[in-house]
Structure 1
Amino acid sequence: METEESSDTEQQEELRGASQENDAETSGASRFEYQSPPDAAEGISLPLLTKMSSERTLAVQAALMQQQKKAIALLTWQLCRSVFSGGYTRSRPFRISLTESHSTLTGNAPSGEDGAAFLALTEERIRLEALLPHEWAEDFTTFFTLNGETLMALMTFCVACSVDGVQTRESGHTSRSQLTELEAALGFHLRDWWHPTKAGFFADLKHAQIIDALNEAGFTGAARDAEKMKKGDAAELAEDRMRDTRWVPAWMKGKEPEKATDDAAASEADSDSDNNDPAHAA
């Protein structure tokens, strides 16, 4: 009888030990499970995130439109992904698709259709539409008559219009911007296309976020003044202080563009500027 009780006790201890080991393994797995750091825009309201990522998308489109060689390279890269990496393609003769969403972007972006980026895109669109052959949409052979310069300009514009960097938030998680690498490759700076104003940006921030923005831009004195102001006055102060700066919120930019340090890089930049600007191509 004593032997049976001893055996039962030993079995229970073994079961408890195994359970503890499993718990430890599970706990260890959870400890070492990778969790991506929160996006810089987590504290920004979803309406403002949508507005400003739409604004940023339009600006990147306009910047890419002005760099023909890089636009064509991006298109070729995308095509090669389908051809050489076993990408899925639909069963139709031309397996390339593009979504142009200017109506949605301008509807969300604070600058709307009056922003510098959209105005530049519109100007180029009008110029290119005038070059399209009669009834071109019904007969693809009409494009065989276009010269190489026109074809390249059309291709560049279409590639630029395909850019989509609007961020979303689902289940409390903010999607990361897909524009950062492209911006770095283009030497892009958002302030070339957008300026933070009271109505278009600061008014949508919380009072504390306006103060944070002033501190981030180095205006610590103005930030202290803003603490004592009403939100509307603080937003107006922020617009005034930021007017002549290159400040962009940290959550709206990627890495700073690298400066060309050798003759080859400088030569490529000159080539893009002189030969690949759509207006020059005209």
Structure 2
Amino acid sequence: DGGDEEAEDEGKPLSDLLIRDLTAHRTLGLRLALGEQPDIALVAVTHALAAQTFYQGAEAHCLEIRPTSVYLAGHADGIEDTAAGKVLADRHAEWAADMPRDVGDLWGFIALLDHASVMALFAHCASLTVNAVKQPWERKPCAHQTADRLATAVNLDMTAHWRPTVRTYLGRVTKAQILDAVREAASEDDVERLSALKKQPMAEAAEQLLSGTGWLPAIMRTQEPAVFGEPQEEAEGADDRTADVAELAPEADEPEAANAALGDGAPSVPEGEQFNVAAE
């Protein structure tokens, strides 16, 4: 009987509870180590993004990063057929052609890329998550402010990708808004000349006047970079406000801070069949 018990013990796996305990400690060790190695962190984040960007349903990444990409064609008809849309599609296709067929080989593929290529892949995957679309029921002022800052940071020039035509803008706004655009881009004489026209001929005439002027609706314009010194002043003001709040707020308990660092959210596992090969 004793021999049978020993044989059973030898083949008995670790309990689920113990496995969770041990892997939690291993996860903590990985978090600590990864936070001290930025180069590997870049590879890991790029891997997590690429695994979900180029492979359908792949759970090959261990970073809880879930990129989403808004379907722009649902907001702007024909946007995928624009020059900018085709450039982005071509860039994506070029990367997709380079991806290994099996997602299990993706880490090795990224790890062997030179630093510039890793950065380029990271930038492409990150770019697909940008969402600056404004919808009437959403209240996201901070997100839209960040989109404005991003536009300034990348020196976005929408005149390279969009121009005001009857179809894209002038036929979809009021006569007063058409005249405002002409006033900004052309002259007051042109405004007076167009004022007597009906909506359709006014829009057509305005399209000709605005052609080549680089005029953009205010919502599409990129803000100029902040003047030297202003960001520092803004930061100092923010520091002062933070200090004021800190004086009023009670001190946080150390265990709560530790729990925040370790993370307390339950992992979300997408449902459905898993496909671990590159999407064509």
Q: TM-score, normalised by structure 1?
A: 0.52
Give the alignment of 1:217-256 within 5 angstroms.
217-256=185-224
- CA distance 1:174–1:185, shift in 2 (3 Å): closer
User: What is the CA deviation profile of residues 85-109 of structure 1, one whole-angstrom value per residue up to 9, with x for unaligned ones?
Assistant: xxxxxxx9312221122xx212322
Looking at structure 1, the residues matched to 160 and 186 of structure 2 have their Cα atoms a distance apart, in angstroms, of 20
- 1:162 paired with 2:126, answer no
- Which residue in the other structure is 1:116 paired with? 83
The one of 78, 86, 92 aligned to 1:125: 92
Looking at structure 1, the residues matched to 148 and 113 of structure 2 have their Cα atoms a distance apart, in angstroms, of 34
- Which residue in the other structure is 1:147 paired with? 113
The one of 130, 143, 150 aligned to 1:182: 150
- Which residue in the other structure is 2:68 paired with? 99
Q: CA deviation at 1:218?
A: 3.5
- CA distance 1:257–1:190, shift in 2 (3 Å): farther
Looking at structure 2, the residues matched to 174 and 151 of structure 1 have their Cα atoms a distance apart, in angstroms, of 32
Q: How many residues align?
A: 169
Q: TM-score, normalised by structure 2?
A: 0.53
8 Å CA contact retained: 1:168, 1:174: no
Q: Is the partner of 2:98 in helix, strand or coil?
A: coil
Q: CA deviation at 1:131?
A: 0.6
Q: CA deviation at 1:231?
A: 0.6
Q: CA deviation at 1:142?
A: 4.3
8 Å CA contact retained: 2:170, 2:178: yes
What is the one-letter code of the residue matched to 2:93?
I
Looking at structure 2, the residues matched to 257 and 110 of structure 1 have their Cα atoms a distance apart, in angstroms, of 32
Give the alignment of 1:27-106 within 5 angstroms.
93-101=62-70, 104-106=71-73
Looking at structure 2, the residues matched to 110 and 125 of structure 1 have their Cα atoms a distance apart, in angstroms, of 21
Looking at structure 1, the residues matched to 78 and 193 of structure 2 have their Cα atoms a distance apart, in angstroms, of 28
- CA distance 1:246–1:256, shift in 2 (3 Å): farther
Q: CA deviation at 1:174?
A: 9.0
- 1:215 paired with 2:183, answer yes
Looking at structure 2, the residues matched to 218 and 200 of structure 1 have their Cα atoms a distance apart, in angstroms, of 19
- 1:205 paired with 2:173, answer yes
8 Å CA contact retained: 2:152, 2:223: yes
